[in-house]
Each structure stands twice: as structure tokens, then as C-alpha cells.
Structure 1
Amino acid sequence: MRKTTCAAVLATAGLLLTTTPAHATTPAHATTPAHATTRAHAAGTPAAVPAAVPAAVPAAVPAAVPAAVPAAVPAAVPAAVPAAVPAAVPAAVPGVVPAAGTPDGTSGAVPAGTTGSTTGPCGYTATPDDPPARPVSLPPDPVHTPDKGIVKVVVATNQGPMLLSLDRAKAPCTVQSFLHLARSRFYDFTTCHRLTLYPTLKVLQCGDPSGTGSGGPGYSYKDELPTDLPNWPDDPTGTRKVYARGTVAMANAGPDTNGSQFFLVFGDSRLRPDYTVFGSVDRLGLAVLDRVAAGGITPTQDDPDGIDGPPARRTDILVARQLGHR
């Protein structure tokens, strides 16, 4: 297959590749994902990425997420979810590692560093104790959140392009936030810090500009949890669901702690339905994820076996842009 260059993807999308960095949570392995806003994992800085981009960060579905724990994939993301979560976060669950330290929000964007919350139905709330990993405002929160249609977002990485289809009907507030962060270049030049290779949790977690698994946008918002996921085959209780290959979901650090970290599922994963599903990744994107997964995980002191940590094939988001948006 001919390799598609990032420049070609951007040219097709009518986008300009800039070198301006932006802001950017994942799942972990186990039955409960860690904070989707748990900031992420990563390692090494590629030539295409500015020095400002964090290096050597372990991978919610983040570095703050415990080994074998996905974030919102994980305890916000599926069992065996990527996420840099603290030891307190369940193993194998996508999650966001809690950090110390916000954007704004009324019906329009509010400057970063403010307090309070937006007044619309999404109620994006600033988190002063968990400041933004990069300056960004609270998302717009209109009286009626757009809740119809599929929005396409191209995510160009150093490993290849991925096209995401975001479903406004499934998670309108999540899609609204994700698009705001993409437009604000929060995800540009960030590292996907966590990869999980558990038998029941296969995800790549991204979305933390700090690359640690504990970084986020300085705000949080409510869950929009799935109600139609099939039961995991060997779980007679029906409490664990199938987050299918190709799913895009938010990593988190617990209920209603969504931020910027998200995870991409490359193999059916077993998780509690505690992670917001807001889209899917296309065939070419899955090929990219399979290539990254095949490269394995860089062993660390906490994960000498290479099951949950930063991908050996460092994966950096160069740009993330909504298609058809000016």
C-alpha cells in the first residue's frame, strides 16, 4: 500500500499544516477505566514535533493511569484501557491521571484560566486545581447543542492519517468539546502516551499535551454514556460491555470528569459502560493503529513486560482538523 503523507491528507482536507502547538486524556486495562481526563503517556520527541512537545511519557482509552488501566476507556475506558493513571486507578482501564491545577464558558468561549462554568446545557466547568496543559478557553455552550449529523475530523499523525467520524446524536456535548479543542489546536503536536495490549483491552490513548496522562484542557463536563453496547460474551452479569474495534471514546478519572483525553480501540475490549462513545475511526486509521500496536510497548520499571505503557512506535498527532470547517 502506498504510504499517504501528512501533507497530502492536509491538502485534500484544504488545511494548512502549521507549527503552532496546541492542547490536549485515555483508557486502561481492567474493568474500570481511569480518568479520561487523566493525562496521558508518551515517549521520545520525533523530528516533526517541536521541542515543546513532552517526551518519554507512558500511556486511559494515560502516564498517570496505572498499568493495565484504560481511561474513559477505560475506569472511564474499557478493561485493559490506555491511560496514565496513578496507582489508585484500576489496572487495565482507560483513564486520566489526576493533576493539580480551565477554560471558560457561556454561550461563547471563555478565556483560559477563568473559573465557573458555561450556562448552556453542557455546563463545561473550569477546574482551577487542574489547569490546562495548554492555554484554551471553555467551549461554546449554546442554548441548543447541535445534536444531529456526523462530523468528520482528520487526525494526521507521524504514523499515518486517521479519519474520525464524530456522532453528534450520541454525544453532543463531547463532540462540541472535541471540535473546540481541535479548532484551538490543542491536539496539534501532541503524543499519544499510552498503548494497552491486554487480552481484553486494546487501545491507544491520546489527547494530553503534557504527554504524562495527567494533562487536560482545564475544564470538565458530564458523561454521555452508551446504552446500546453488547454484553461481553463471557460475562454472565452483563456489567461489562464490548467496546468494539474502531470505537472512539473518552478517557476519564471518574464520573463526569471528561476533558481532552480519548482512546481509539483497535481490538474488541471489555469495559464497564463508563466511557462516553462519541465516534469511530476509518479503515486507514485502523491500519495505523494496527501498525502502532504491532510495534509493541516500550518496557518501563512499572511495566517490564510491555503490556501497558508508551508505544515503542512513538505516535504524535501533528494536526487535528474538522473537515469542511472554515
Structure 2
Amino acid sequence: MSKRPLTLIAALVLAAGLTACGGEDETAADSAPVDNANSVPCTYTEEGGAAKEADLPPDMSAYDGDVPVTITTSAGEVSATLDASAAPCTVNSFVSLAEQGYFDDTICHRLTTQGIFVLQCGDPSGTGGGGPGYSFPDEVTGDEKYGPATIAMANAGPDTNGSQFFLVYGDSSVLQPDYTVFGEMDPEGLKVVEEVGAAGTADGGPDGAPATEIGISAVTVD
């Protein structure tokens, strides 16, 4: 993947923009892999320069409906529910990377505290320019909203999704509907990210490394 930073919010920090689970039986039914005959085909395009090697996801979406996951971080557990009905290929990629351990021992490298309020993660290089060695198209409708608890993909332009994603901890409705929404944090998970956001950035600016270093030790499908 290109080493250019993923412009979740390229300039909006300064100008108003930047470039809940059921019981075990229900969970098992909701998140079970679906029959390929009923799956959605996905296109993943190989690119060079992977920040950490990863196999391509399956070319058919492997999940349908709600997919509960836990992002285990140094600041606490962030439990969330991914929406494979709305974004099947995005969830397919995210789960594939999680199961390969791609997110293990990585940091959330970026925090924004003005205009939009997000914590950006998913780059093993920690630079903002790293990815898994492949990209895939956006899954957007134009009606995306980026309220607190939203999980969405960061990108470097249309159809450049890779591994980087952002966790919204405050109203970020100024964002254009250009970023695939593929999940939502539960209230306790949101609280973890809110606390990181409240501590601000390491240099006190509106966009930078979080003052509270937050590392991801694992992402698991529950």
C-alpha cells in the first residue's frame, strides 16, 4: 500500500474537517459464517509495501449480520459489534486480519481533538501510511453518520481501504460520508476511547499521537 498518510481528516482539524451482544445462542447464529452461495463477492487488490504481511481475505464475504468483537488494548477492552449486512467486504477484511493477528502488538497512532473526535488505529508501522498490502472498495451509501461509538475505515481517497480504521468518541458529523461505517462500540468500549480522547495529544495539538499511548494486543471475534 502507498506510504501516504490515510487522510481520515486531512485538513479539517483546522478548518472543520479532517482529510451490544445477545446470549450465546443468538451470537453464534448472528455471526456464523454464511454459505458462499448467499455471500457477497469482494474484490481485494494486491499492492506492495505491506507494513505487516497478511494473506488476502476470502473473495466472498464470510459473515452476515452482527459480528461481536473485542479489541483488547492497553487502556481497556473495547467491545463492539460489526455490521456485516451494511459492509460485508469491510467486515470480511477486518475479521480476516484479526484472525491472522495483524492488529496484535500495534498502536493507535492518531488522535484528533478539534472538529472531529476520533482515535485512528490499524497501522502496524505506527506512521499513518502503513497497510496490509492490499486495498478494497468503499461500502458507502452517502447517508453515513459519524456519531460517538462509530467504527469506520480510514482511507487515502476513494476505494483505498486497507487496515486502518477509526473509533469515534465525539460528534464528528462534519465528516463527509466518504468513510465506510462497519461497526459500533458498546458503551463501555466507548468510555475507554473517551478517556484516551480526554487526555489529548502528546504535543497538546488538535491532531497527533495520543498522550495516553494505547496499544492493541489482540482483536478477537467473540
TM-score norm. by structure 1 comes to: 0.58
**Helix, strand or coil at the partner of 2:98:** helix
8 A Cα contact 1:226 1:277, kept in partner? no
Partner residue of 1:183 out of 99, 103, 111: 99
8 A Cα contact 2:70 2:221, kept in partner? yes
Letter in 1 for 2:5: A
Q: Distance in 1 between matches of 2:167 and 2:211?
A: 17
Q: Are residues 1:314 and 2:213 paired?
A: yes
Q: Distance in 1 between matches of 2:200 and 2:63?
A: 38
Q: Following TM superposition, by how much is the alpha carbon of 1:64 offset from its aligned partner in structure 2, in angstroms?
A: 3.3
Residue of structure 2 in register with 1:126 after alignment: 46
Residue of structure 1 in register with 2:69 after alignment: 153
Distance 1:157 1:274, change over 3 A: same
Q: Distance in 1 between matches of 2:16 and 2:155?
A: 14
Letter in 1 for 2:148: R
8 A Cα contact 1:38 1:261, kept in partner? no
8 A Cα contact 2:51 2:133, kept in partner? yes
Residue of structure 2 in register with 1:298 after alignment: 202
Residue of structure 1 in register with 2:59 after alignment: 141
8 A Cα contact 2:63 2:84, kept in partner? yes
TM-score norm. by structure 2 comes to: 0.83
Q: Distance in 2 between matches of 1:183 and 1:139?
A: 10
Residue of structure 2 in register with 1:193 after alignment: 109
Q: Following TM superposition, by how much is the alpha carbon of 1:196 offset from its aligned partner in structure 2, in angstroms?
A: 0.0
- Gapped regions of structure 1 (runs ≥ 5): 1-36, 40-62, 82-89, 95-119, 230-241, 300-304
Distance 1:254 1:264, change over 3 A: same
Q: Following TM superposition, by how much is the alpha carbon of 1:169 offset from its aligned partner in structure 2, in angstroms?
A: 0.9
Letter in 2 for 1:259: G
Q: Following TM superposition, by how much is the alpha carbon of 1:148 offset from its aligned partner in structure 2, in angstroms?
A: 2.9
8 A Cα contact 2:140 2:179, kept in partner? yes
Give the 5 Å matches for 1:82-97: 92-93=17-18
Letter in 2 for 1:228: D
Q: Distance in 2 between matches of 1:289 and 1:79?
A: 21
Q: Distance in 1 between matches of 2:17 and 2:124?
A: 22
Distance 1:279 1:226, change over 3 A: farther
Letter in 1 for 2:156: A
Distance 1:193 1:133, change over 3 A: same
Q: Following TM superposition, by how much is the alpha carbon of 1:182 offset from its aligned partner in structure 2, in angstroms?
A: 0.1
Residue of structure 1 in register with 2:140 after alignment: 225
Q: Distance in 1 between matches of 2:157 and 2:74?
A: 31
Q: Following TM superposition, by how much is the alpha carbon of 1:91 offset from its aligned partner in structure 2, in angstroms?
A: 8.4
Distance 1:272 1:263, change over 3 A: same
Report how many aligned residue pairs link the two structures: 201
Q: Distance in 2 between matches of 1:166 and 1:184?
A: 18
Percent sequence identity over aligned pairs: 48
8 A Cα contact 1:192 1:204, kept in partner? yes
Partner residue of 2:82 out of 162, 166, 175: 166
* Alignment deviations for residues 189-221 of structure 1 (CA, whole Å, 9 cap, x no partner): 1000000001x2000000000000000000000
* Higher helix fraction (1 or 2): 2
- Gapped regions of structure 2 (runs ≥ 5): 20-39
Residue of structure 1 in register with 2:24 after alignment: none
* Alignment deviations for residues 151-191 of structure 1 (CA, whole Å, 9 cap, x no partner): 01100100000012100111000000000000000001100
Larger Rg: 1
Q: Are residues 1:64 and 2:1 paired?
A: no
Q: Following TM superposition, by how much is the alpha carbon of 1:123 offset from its aligned partner in structure 2, in angstroms?
A: 1.1
Q: Following TM superposition, by how much is the alpha carbon of 1:122 offset from its aligned partner in structure 2, in angstroms?
A: 1.3
